[in-house]
Amino acid sequence: MAIRLVVLSTLFVLGLSVGTARANPIGPNCATCQGSIYTLTNLGLVTDLNTGDGLADTYRIMLTIDTTGYTGTGVRIDEVAVKISSGLDSATLVSAPGGTSNWNLVTGGVNANGCSGSGSGFDCAMFTGLTGGAVVPGTLLTWVFDLDINGALLTGPLAASIKARYVNAAGNKVGALMSENITLTQVPEPSALLLLSSAVPAIGFAVRRRRSRR
């Protein structure tokens, strides 16, 4: 009975951890996905960007775009935008294709002409380099933002939002403007992982103890 309880409790924690970490991608067949697959992941809290509000509410957010199946005629993505809350106090770009020096951040979303400067809660990364960057198709592209939010974190199903603009070699938009709701993936809490790591040895101990009694 004791072994069964330990096993069940461990599987329960494991299930929570795996379930919490499971990605919630969209694509390749959504209305504006154009054959690519998009994932938005919350990597957890980081050093607060806006300490004036007295809140620990700066999150590290990773946007990945798998362009292996991209069906459009573009040669790169030159703007992406993410929204994880109804408001945004501050933002920094931690990493981006080709390096962060080739990207500028603009508050707001993306329209057909690029970063729009409007759209509450959105933050837009705009490519400013001459070559390289987020080249498509056939590559896995990753942007990492630190976002200090002003409002609740949008963790519900399809509550967050992303946008992306595919362009040709001349920098002109091609195909549909990628604009979709997405579910923000949550990584496992460290406490859950710690509990799991401590429970696994307990199973081995219980099994050995039962065998010794036999």
10, containing H or E segment: helix 2-21
Q: Which two tokens stand for residue 87?
A: 């408001």
CA distance linking residue 38 with residue 59, whole number of Å: 19
- Determine the pLDDT at residue 187: 84
Q: Which two tokens stand for residue 192?
A: 């859950």
- Determine the pLDDT at residue 62: 98
In 3-state terms the chain splits into helix, strand, coil percentages (rounded to 5) of 25, 35, 40
Cis preceding linkage at 188, omega within 30: no
CB 141 within 8 A of CB 134: yes
Please choose, from the candidates 67, 48, 58, the residue with its C-alpha nearest in 3D space to the C-alpha of residue 80: 67
pLDDT tens, N- to C-terminus, the chain (214 residues): 544 433 334 433 344 444 444 679 999 999 999 999 999 999 999 999 999 999 999 999 999 999 999 999 999 999 999 999 999 999 999 999 999 999 999 999 999 999 999 999 999 999 999 888 899 999 999 999 999 999 999 999 999 999 999 999 999 999 999 999 999 998 865 544 444 445 445 445 444 455 455 4
Q: Which domains does the chain have, with CATH numbers?
A: 27-188 (2.60.40)
* 36 Cβ contact list (under 8 Å, min separation 6): 27, 28, 65, 66, 67, 68, 69, 70, 136, 178
